[in-house]
Structure 1
């Protein structure tokens, strides 16, 4: 019977990020590229649920996550992924794993801000939460044309109830999973930022 149960993407995302958070908070502290990229791949469908406004973000995010999934076959941890690019002098090169990791982290941040905004706003419209999330996490790194396209696409966002239905959740269960992701992803995002900052790579490029 298990096969007939509806997919619960939000639950899977929350659980995967809680596991990453537990790894970071444990003595090990080394995050594997495989578990990180797997957790990030679970977030990919969310961008699709947000419609045309986030089409570019979805394409970009999915491609970068796939690169990290591929990298996980030969690279053990996020630390060694960065070290390898530092050694090869390719940190900022387009297509480098390190550059892609930074882009994926921004996608996680956008979803975190979106969920935070959904949790504190009333009403059915997602335009406010989505605009704020885009503006804070992604807009500073996008050119004028992409920002304009995103703004134009905001009219096509699903309403809150539609989004929850697509994710097979009701208001209260969705809120629970969103809160869980917000808390766990904050730890994961901070961890990735720290990997960059302790190596003096910066995070604003």
Structure 2
């Protein structure tokens, strides 16, 4: 439920644990754990106030759509990202040319989260490797420009740039992660980010293989 996503306290440890469950033995990505990982990332964004609301609100919407799929009557086809892509493509349930009959297909919905995951991965990696006096606004903008910006309209990019200008400093980000000292946060990010990166890379390759990276 959206309320629980927004109200619970963020825990970097929970996100680490959830993404560690995302991959099956043969490297398929479980959608249920992927969605749960995203619930944690939404809590992270919301814990910093309204700065990231333009992304977190859309993420909550996408989370709810995917949850309905894997909890629905065809839920077995939405067990993994791989099974979802096969099922929707085999049954013509994806709008490949224009957003028409299936604007909320699983493939399209997950692609939006996939793109945002890249932005968060790049931003968190910059936070992990930066010094305490580095500007989070610059780190966040750089990560955004390398990922999500290319998929957003000009007006959204403009609003994002203004929002990033009021980001708190690095110590505040580390505090909301609820891990402990800065060294402990850096260490846990070092454990979490490779997991997130692997999930991202597997999804990216799958979508590229089926020419789904530019779904309308």
Same-fold status (TM-score > 0.5): yes
Q: Is the 8 A contact 1:31 1:77 kept in 2?
A: yes
Asked if 1:67 corresponds to 2:65, the answer is yes
Asked if 1:161 corresponds to 2:171, the answer is yes
1:91 is aligned to 94
Is there any run of 5+ residues in structure 1 with no aligned partner, and where?
Answer: 1-5
1:124 and 1:199 mapped to 2: Cα distance? 40
2:192 is aligned to 181
Query: Mean alpha-carbon deviation: is it higher for 31-40 or for 125-134?
Result: 31-40
1:142 and 1:49 mapped to 2: Cα distance? 24
Residue 122 of structure 2: which of 109, 113, 128 is its match? Answer: 113
Q: Is the 8 A contact 2:31 2:79 kept in 1?
A: yes
Q: Is the 8 A contact 1:196 1:203 kept in 2?
A: no
Pairwise CA distance, 1:107: 1.7
Whichever structure has more helix as a proportion of its residues is 1
**Secondary structure in 2 matching 1:72:** helix
Asked if 1:43 corresponds to 2:45, the answer is no
1:165 and 1:82 mapped to 2: Cα distance? 38
Number of aligned residue pairs: give it.
Answer: 196
Asked if 1:76 corresponds to 2:79, the answer is yes
Q: Is the 8 A contact 2:119 2:147 kept in 1?
A: yes
Q: Is the 8 A contact 1:48 1:58 kept in 2?
A: yes
2:163 and 2:38 mapped to 1: Cα distance? 24
1:139 is aligned to 149
2:168 and 2:62 mapped to 1: Cα distance? 25
Pairwise CA distance, 1:112: 0.7
Is there any run of 5+ residues in structure 2 with no aligned partner, and where?
Answer: 1-7
Q: 1:150 to 1:53 in 2, by over 3 A?
A: farther
Q: Is the 8 A contact 1:91 1:99 kept in 2?
A: yes
1:15 is aligned to 17
TM-score by length of 2: 0.81
Query: Mean alpha-carbon deviation: is it higher for 191-200 or for 29-38?
Result: 29-38
Computed over aligned residues only, the root mean square deviation of the Cα atoms, in angstroms, reads: 2.1
1:3 is aligned to none
2:48 and 2:105 mapped to 1: Cα distance? 28
